[in-house]
Structures are given as structure tokens and as C-alpha cells.
A and B are shown apart, each in its own frame.
Chain A
Amino acid sequence: MPIRFFKSQSQLVDVSPQSPLPVAVQSQPAQSETLLVSVISVGSTPKDLLDSTNPEAPTLDKCSAFQRLIWMGRKSGSADLNYTIQGRATDLSGNPLGDGWFEVATGTISGSANSWFRVVVPETHTGWDQYRITISSSSTQTVFSKVLAR
């Protein structure tokens, strides 16, 4: 009995040298890029990973092609880190379509002093050109960060 498959949405064909079964590449490694590396001192005033308190300043730019952002790092103190991740779109010149931001995610990073953390912005929340990642802490501590995208 021949093996048949849909070669297109309406064409059912037998497997043959002329019509081999389609395959998907499964083992291709995901390409990722390092977007940011930073070391900042964080206190009660929210600031972004580039140490900016300007609420309109983007932390990351030209990101619309990335489908996932991974923020990982290490905190020097035991106080929680409160974070907010915001996004917005830009026009063809790279200027934001307007002021303000869309809130992509917000949360709290807990952990003892010198512990590591990891925050993922999944596919269902990406698509923005610019992102602003701000953090604050009830007591001053140093935060080491790295943001990867793929």
C-alpha cells in the first residue's frame, strides 16, 4: 500500500522519489544575541538597566525581529527586586509612535544576597521595537544583568 501525504492543501500524492515526504529540521540550534550587559546600583528609585531614570528612554531598541527576550543576572543584596518591562513601537525612522509605554510584564525577583535570577519575555508578549526594563529595590544593592534575545 503506498504512503500518501498532502503535498499542498488540496493535493494528495504518493510518496515517490519525485515527491518525497517533507521533513522539518529539528536540530538547528536557536540563534541568540546578547543585547545588553550592565552593572548598576539599584535603590528605591526605579531606573532602567542602563541606569537611566528618564521614563522615555528605551533600554533596548530595534527588537521587533526578536521573538523572545531572556534577562538573567545576579543581585548582591537580599532585598527583593521589583521590575517592570515595557514595550513600544517606532516608525520607519526609528522614532516612537508616541510617548509612554505598553506594560509587557511586571514582577518581583526574590532571592538571597548574591543569588541569580532569570526572567523570560515569551513570544506572546514580544513584537515591540523598543523595551524599557526598570528595577527598584527597598535597599541599595548591585545588580548584574545580561539580556539575550532570539
Chain B
Amino acid sequence: MRRFDYYRAISVDEAIALLNEHGEGGMLLSGGTDLLVQIKEAGLAPAYVVGLSGIDELRELRSNGDGLHIGAGVLMHEVASDGTVQAQYSALCDGAGVVGSRQTRNMATVGGNVCNAAPSADTGPPLSVLDATVHVAGGGGTREVAIDDFWTGPGRTVLDSEVVTHITVPAPPANAGSFYERHTPRQIMDIAAVGTAVYVELDGDGNCSQARIALGAVAPTVVRAPAAEAALSGGPITAARAAEAGRAAAGEATPISDQRGSAEFRTHLVEVMTTRSILHAAERAQG
């Protein structure tokens, strides 16, 4: 492996101090399943690396009536196997449960997936539709960033010599449901060609009172699909209305062509998968 200086932090404060002490060009290492691959294969040459896996405060996963707290170092398999996440934050369970292989899910962290900022990240669209907030710590203190404002481009975030400490998700009401699915050429150990996440709330008459729809791998970042959300809100979730929202979502996607699919194919997938994800999310909302 390419040589680099490696410092293991044992607290968030120490990690921030290391970033400030060593200056430009440092990178943070969490589970290693993205960063070390980029160093080995993609020519990434960080000036130095700060390891976060020894920081206990980043490993906390807990929930209460207000919502879910996911430490940045919580592993994918821990999220996917958590009973509360499965029941109340289902789209996130769907996403965390399909990342890579079993080995990957024993190493990769939610914070790493968010900070790697791939538009295809499997926890990206779920966290977007679940209205997550990213909690950031740096030399100047702490701040909160809405997940949709966190990513600025492929591999780019708002972080500036800062560390993501945790992600919070507000508790959904009982009449809510969420769903994420992705299409990959291979079933396992592949990256989404398209990912679609849907969150819906139903009112007492079964009408959709709130809809959030996010798309992965069809834009420079994970993106919301506001026209699709508007098409779905305010009426019953029928196959016809879901299909109308799916068509709207396809109009909001701006995919590129690559080895996982042409732009035309991806646009078609967005329509089909958004429609299907809406119906699955509605089923979950009905319990």
C-alpha cells in the first residue's frame, strides 16, 4: 500500500487537534472500505490519515421517542440488525443491509458512507427522506447540517477540517412508512446504478399527507425529487398516482452513462423503481 503517516485518535477532540496540527491534505479513516480502496487503486495520496475507529463516543446507536442517534462510527450491520431501525426507520435498514458484502457491512460505517459522498451511497437516499441531520465538530465548535445540504458534489461535502460525530433522525409518526431499493448489475458487492427511497405519511382517510422522495446515482449528489413529491401528496396512494409520481421523478433525474447503465436506462429505472418504492412505503405506513 502507498505509504502515508497514520495517527489513531481516541477522542473527537484529539482528531480535530490532529487535523489542525498537521494541516492541509489530511483524510479521516473510519471503516476503510472506501478510503483504503481509493488509496490503493485510485491514486489518492493523502498527506496523512487520522484513524477514527478507536473513538468510543462515535460508536453509539440509540433511540428514544424523539428519534434516532447514529454515531458516525456505527457499523452497517449494527444499523441493519437493530430492531428499532428495522421497525421505524425501515428505509435506512434497507440501505445499510445491502452495502457491499457481509464483510463490508462489518467494517463500513454510516458516517463514512455519508462523508465519502458518493451519489450512489446506499444510506444516502434513506437518510435524505428520513430528514436526517448531520452533526459536525471542528476547531470552532459544533454545528448541524441538514443532510440535503451536506453533499456538494461527488466526493465533496461541506466539511472543513471537521469531524462528523453523529447523525440524528426525527422519530416518524405511527402512520409513516419508508422504503429503499437499488438496482445493481450484480446482486452483491456492487454499487447502485440507481437507488430510490420514499417516505410517506398517511392521514386518517388514507391520503398521503407528507411525501419525501430521494434518488441515488442519477445526479452529482443524492437528490430529492420535489415534483414527484408534489404529485404524490394530497391524495390516496394508488397505483396510478404512484406511476404519475414515478414519471415526475424520471423527469428530475440527470444521470450519466457508465458501465452500470446508460443514462436512458437509468432514467427508465428511476420511473419504475420510484413507482414501486412508493407502493412499498405505503404498505409499511399501513403497518
A binds B: no
